[in-house]
Amino acid sequence: MKIKNKLIITIFSLPLIATPLALTASDDNVPPIKNKLVLEECGACHLAFQPAFLPAISWEKMMNELENHFGEDASLDKEMTREITNYMMANAQKNKIVNFDNPPLRITELRWFKHEHGEREAKNMLNKKKLNSYVDCAACHKGADKGYYDDD
Ligand code: HEC
Ligand code: HEC
Protein backbone atom coordinates (compact mmCIF):
# COMPACT_ATOMS: atom_id res chain seq x y z
CA MET A 1 0.00 0.00 0.00
CA LYS A 2 1.19 3.47 -0.86
CA ILE A 3 1.28 6.12 1.78
CA LYS A 4 -0.18 9.31 0.55
CA ASN A 5 1.87 12.43 0.97
CA LYS A 6 0.82 14.31 3.96
CA LEU A 7 0.37 17.95 3.60
CA ILE A 8 1.70 19.68 6.61
CA ILE A 9 0.20 23.01 7.21
CA THR A 10 1.71 25.27 9.77
CA ILE A 11 -0.51 27.99 10.86
CA PHE A 12 1.19 31.10 12.03
CA SER A 13 -1.21 33.00 14.14
CA LEU A 14 -0.61 36.62 13.40
CA PRO A 15 -1.12 38.94 16.31
CA LEU A 16 -3.10 42.01 15.42
CA ILE A 17 -0.44 44.63 15.24
CA ALA A 18 -2.03 47.90 14.35
CA THR A 19 -0.09 50.04 16.78
CA PRO A 20 1.86 52.35 14.45
CA LEU A 21 -1.22 53.36 12.54
CA ALA A 22 -3.38 53.65 15.60
CA LEU A 23 -0.96 55.84 17.48
CA THR A 24 0.10 58.23 14.78
CA ALA A 25 -3.20 58.88 13.11
CA SER A 26 -4.57 62.21 14.16
CA ASP A 27 -8.03 63.52 13.68
CA ASP A 28 -8.07 66.94 12.07
CA ASN A 29 -11.67 67.55 12.85
CA VAL A 30 -14.06 65.77 15.15
CA PRO A 31 -17.85 65.81 15.44
CA PRO A 32 -19.10 68.62 17.70
CA ILE A 33 -20.83 67.86 20.99
CA LYS A 34 -24.59 67.91 20.60
CA ASN A 35 -25.58 67.13 24.17
CA LYS A 36 -26.53 70.22 26.20
CA LEU A 37 -25.65 68.72 29.56
CA VAL A 38 -22.17 67.75 28.38
CA LEU A 39 -21.60 71.21 26.92
CA GLU A 40 -22.67 72.89 30.15
CA GLU A 41 -21.10 70.64 32.75
CA CYS A 42 -17.93 69.64 30.95
CA GLY A 43 -17.47 73.10 29.54
CA ALA A 44 -17.67 74.88 32.89
CA CYS A 45 -13.93 74.95 33.62
CA HIS A 46 -12.40 74.35 30.20
CA LEU A 47 -13.52 73.69 26.63
CA ALA A 48 -15.86 70.71 26.53
CA PHE A 49 -13.45 68.28 24.90
CA GLN A 50 -15.05 66.25 22.12
CA PRO A 51 -15.54 62.57 22.99
CA ALA A 52 -13.85 61.43 19.76
CA PHE A 53 -10.45 62.39 21.20
CA LEU A 54 -10.39 59.54 23.72
CA PRO A 55 -11.53 55.91 23.68
CA ALA A 56 -14.64 54.83 25.59
CA ILE A 57 -12.69 53.23 28.40
CA SER A 58 -10.93 56.52 29.10
CA TRP A 59 -14.23 58.35 29.49
CA GLU A 60 -15.61 55.58 31.65
CA LYS A 61 -12.64 55.80 33.99
CA MET A 62 -12.70 59.59 34.09
CA MET A 63 -16.43 59.73 34.78
CA ASN A 64 -16.00 57.24 37.61
CA GLU A 65 -13.58 59.47 39.44
CA LEU A 66 -14.96 62.96 38.89
CA GLU A 67 -14.56 63.84 42.57
CA ASN A 68 -10.84 63.79 41.94
CA HIS A 69 -10.62 65.21 38.44
CA PHE A 70 -7.09 66.45 37.82
CA GLY A 71 -7.02 67.84 41.34
CA GLU A 72 -10.51 69.35 41.17
CA ASP A 73 -13.88 68.15 42.38
CA ALA A 74 -16.01 67.95 39.23
CA SER A 75 -18.53 65.48 40.62
CA LEU A 76 -22.16 65.56 39.50
CA ASP A 77 -25.31 63.81 40.65
CA LYS A 78 -25.97 60.24 39.60
CA GLU A 79 -28.34 60.99 36.76
CA MET A 80 -26.16 63.65 35.17
CA THR A 81 -23.11 61.43 35.51
CA ARG A 82 -24.94 58.61 33.78
CA GLU A 83 -26.18 60.77 30.89
CA ILE A 84 -22.74 62.28 30.29
CA THR A 85 -20.97 58.94 30.58
CA ASN A 86 -23.33 57.39 28.05
CA TYR A 87 -22.87 60.24 25.61
CA MET A 88 -19.08 60.29 25.88
CA MET A 89 -18.76 56.53 25.56
CA ALA A 90 -21.16 56.30 22.61
CA ASN A 91 -19.26 58.99 20.73
CA ALA A 92 -15.77 57.98 21.79
CA GLN A 93 -12.79 57.39 19.56
CA LYS A 94 -13.01 54.08 17.80
CA ASN A 95 -10.60 51.55 16.34
CA LYS A 96 -7.62 52.48 18.45
CA ILE A 97 -5.42 50.18 20.42
CA VAL A 98 -5.96 50.90 24.08
CA ASN A 99 -4.19 49.81 27.20
CA PHE A 100 -7.15 48.73 29.28
CA ASP A 101 -5.21 48.74 32.53
CA ASN A 102 -4.06 52.27 32.08
CA PRO A 103 -6.25 54.16 29.62
CA PRO A 104 -5.14 57.68 28.69
CA LEU A 105 -6.98 60.47 30.48
CA ARG A 106 -5.28 63.39 28.82
CA ILE A 107 -5.66 64.26 25.15
CA THR A 108 -2.58 66.45 25.50
CA GLU A 109 -0.46 63.43 26.38
CA LEU A 110 -1.45 61.29 23.40
CA ARG A 111 1.39 60.56 21.01
CA TRP A 112 -0.21 62.18 17.97
CA PHE A 113 -1.03 65.23 20.06
CA LYS A 114 2.56 65.67 21.21
CA HIS A 115 3.70 65.15 17.66
CA GLU A 116 1.35 67.80 16.24
CA HIS A 117 2.21 70.26 19.00
CA GLY A 118 5.91 69.55 19.27
CA GLU A 119 6.81 71.49 16.15
CA ARG A 120 8.06 75.03 16.20
CA GLU A 121 4.76 76.49 15.00
CA ALA A 122 2.77 75.26 17.99
CA LYS A 123 5.54 76.08 20.46
CA ASN A 124 5.81 79.63 19.13
CA MET A 125 2.07 80.09 19.46
CA LEU A 126 2.23 78.80 23.01
CA ASN A 127 4.87 81.35 23.94
CA LYS A 128 3.17 84.19 22.10
CA LYS A 129 -0.12 83.55 23.86
CA LYS A 130 1.70 83.12 27.18
CA LEU A 131 0.10 79.76 27.86
CA ASN A 132 1.82 77.15 29.98
CA SER A 133 0.04 74.17 28.50
CA TYR A 134 -1.98 73.08 25.49
CA VAL A 135 -5.16 72.42 27.47
CA ASP A 136 -6.83 75.62 26.26
CA CYS A 137 -7.47 74.37 22.72
CA ALA A 138 -9.61 77.36 21.75
CA ALA A 139 -6.74 79.79 22.36
CA CYS A 140 -5.20 78.56 19.09
CA HIS A 141 -7.98 76.67 17.35
CA LYS A 142 -10.78 79.19 16.83
CA GLY A 143 -13.25 76.50 15.82
CA ALA A 144 -12.42 74.14 18.70
CA ASP A 145 -15.92 74.30 20.15
CA LYS A 146 -17.26 73.11 16.81
CA GLY A 147 -14.74 70.29 16.60
CA TYR A 148 -12.76 72.12 13.95
CA TYR A 149 -8.99 71.94 14.48
CA ASP A 150 -7.61 72.17 10.98
CA ASP A 151 -7.88 75.92 10.86
CA ASP A 152 -4.56 77.65 11.45
C1 HEC B 1 -14.40 72.06 38.35
C2 HEC B 1 -13.75 72.26 37.06
C3 HEC B 1 -13.85 71.17 36.02
C4 HEC B 1 -14.99 70.58 35.50
C5 HEC B 1 -16.44 70.87 35.86
C6 HEC B 1 -14.52 69.62 34.51
N7 HEC B 1 -13.16 69.66 34.41
FE8 HEC B 1 -12.03 68.56 33.12
N9 HEC B 1 -10.35 69.41 33.89
C10 HEC B 1 -10.30 70.32 34.93
C11 HEC B 1 -8.93 70.67 35.22
C12 HEC B 1 -8.44 71.62 36.29
C13 HEC B 1 -8.14 69.92 34.31
C14 HEC B 1 -6.62 69.95 34.17
C15 HEC B 1 -6.26 71.16 33.35
C16 HEC B 1 -4.78 71.35 33.18
O17 HEC B 1 -4.02 70.41 33.18
O18 HEC B 1 -4.40 72.52 32.96
C19 HEC B 1 -9.07 69.15 33.49
C20 HEC B 1 -8.68 68.31 32.46
C21 HEC B 1 -9.53 67.54 31.69
C22 HEC B 1 -9.11 66.68 30.61
C23 HEC B 1 -7.68 66.43 30.15
C24 HEC B 1 -7.19 67.57 29.26
C25 HEC B 1 -5.86 67.23 28.63
O26 HEC B 1 -4.82 67.53 29.22
O27 HEC B 1 -5.88 66.64 27.54
C28 HEC B 1 -10.24 66.08 30.11
C29 HEC B 1 -10.29 65.09 28.96
C30 HEC B 1 -11.35 66.59 30.87
N31 HEC B 1 -10.90 67.49 31.79
C32 HEC B 1 -12.67 66.22 30.67
C33 HEC B 1 -13.74 66.69 31.43
C34 HEC B 1 -15.10 66.20 31.30
C35 HEC B 1 -15.55 65.07 30.39
C36 HEC B 1 -15.86 66.93 32.16
C37 HEC B 1 -17.34 66.79 32.43
C38 HEC B 1 -17.76 65.58 33.09
C39 HEC B 1 -14.96 67.87 32.84
N40 HEC B 1 -13.69 67.69 32.37
C41 HEC B 1 -15.37 68.80 33.79
C42 HEC B 1 -11.39 70.87 35.56
C43 HEC B 1 -12.71 70.56 35.33
C1 HEC C 1 -0.62 77.13 21.54
C2 HEC C 1 -1.50 76.82 20.45
C3 HEC C 1 -2.27 75.51 20.43
C4 HEC C 1 -3.04 74.95 21.44
C5 HEC C 1 -3.28 75.50 22.83
C6 HEC C 1 -3.59 73.73 20.90
N7 HEC C 1 -3.18 73.55 19.62
FE8 HEC C 1 -3.69 72.02 18.37
N9 HEC C 1 -2.38 72.71 16.98
C10 HEC C 1 -1.66 73.88 17.06
C11 HEC C 1 -0.78 73.97 15.90
C12 HEC C 1 0.18 75.11 15.59
C13 HEC C 1 -0.99 72.78 15.15
C14 HEC C 1 -0.26 72.33 13.89
C15 HEC C 1 -0.70 73.08 12.69
C16 HEC C 1 -1.64 72.27 11.91
O17 HEC C 1 -1.29 71.17 11.48
O18 HEC C 1 -2.79 72.71 11.70
C19 HEC C 1 -2.03 72.03 15.85
C20 HEC C 1 -2.59 70.85 15.37
C21 HEC C 1 -3.68 70.21 15.95
C22 HEC C 1 -4.41 69.11 15.35
C23 HEC C 1 -4.13 68.49 14.00
C24 HEC C 1 -4.78 69.36 12.95
C25 HEC C 1 -4.31 69.03 11.57
O26 HEC C 1 -4.46 69.90 10.71
O27 HEC C 1 -3.82 67.95 11.35
C28 HEC C 1 -5.41 68.77 16.20
C29 HEC C 1 -6.47 67.70 16.02
C30 HEC C 1 -5.30 69.64 17.35
N31 HEC C 1 -4.25 70.50 17.16
C32 HEC C 1 -6.11 69.57 18.46
C33 HEC C 1 -5.91 70.32 19.61
C34 HEC C 1 -6.64 70.11 20.84
C35 HEC C 1 -7.72 69.07 21.06
C36 HEC C 1 -6.16 71.02 21.74
C37 HEC C 1 -6.54 71.18 23.18
C38 HEC C 1 -6.53 69.99 24.03
C39 HEC C 1 -5.13 71.81 21.04
N40 HEC C 1 -5.01 71.33 19.76
C41 HEC C 1 -4.42 72.87 21.60
C42 HEC C 1 -1.72 74.81 18.07
C43 HEC C 1 -2.36 74.61 19.29
Which of 116, 127, 137 has most ligand 2 atoms within 8 Å of CB, for mutation? 116
Q: pTM of the full predicted structure? A: 0.87
The residue that leads in pLDDT, 146 or 16, is 146
Mean pLDDT of all residues in 127-133: 94
Give 39-74 as a 3 state SS string. Answer: HHHCCCCCCCCCHHHCEHHHHHHHHHCHHHECCECC
pLDDT confidence of residue 95: 80
Please give the mean pLDDT across all residues of the chain: 85
- Give the DSSP per-residue string, 116-148: HHSSHHHHHHHHHTT-SSS--GGGT-TTGGGTB
26 alpha carbon, closest ligand: 2
pLDDT of residue 108: 97
Q: What angle do CA 43, 69, 116 make, to 5 degrees?
A: 65
| Site residues for ligand 2, CB cut-off 6 Å | 26-28, 53, 107-108, 116-117, 121-122, 125-126, 129, 131, 134-137, 139-141, 149-150, 152
Per-residue pLDDT of 49-105, as tens digits, reads 999 999 999 999 999 999 999 999 999 999 999 999 999 999 999 987 788 889 999
Identify which has the larger pLDDT, 146 or 2. 146
9-46, pLDDT tens digit by residue? 434 434 443 333 333 345 589 999 999 999 999 999 99
Atom number of ligand 1 nearest to Cα 108: 27
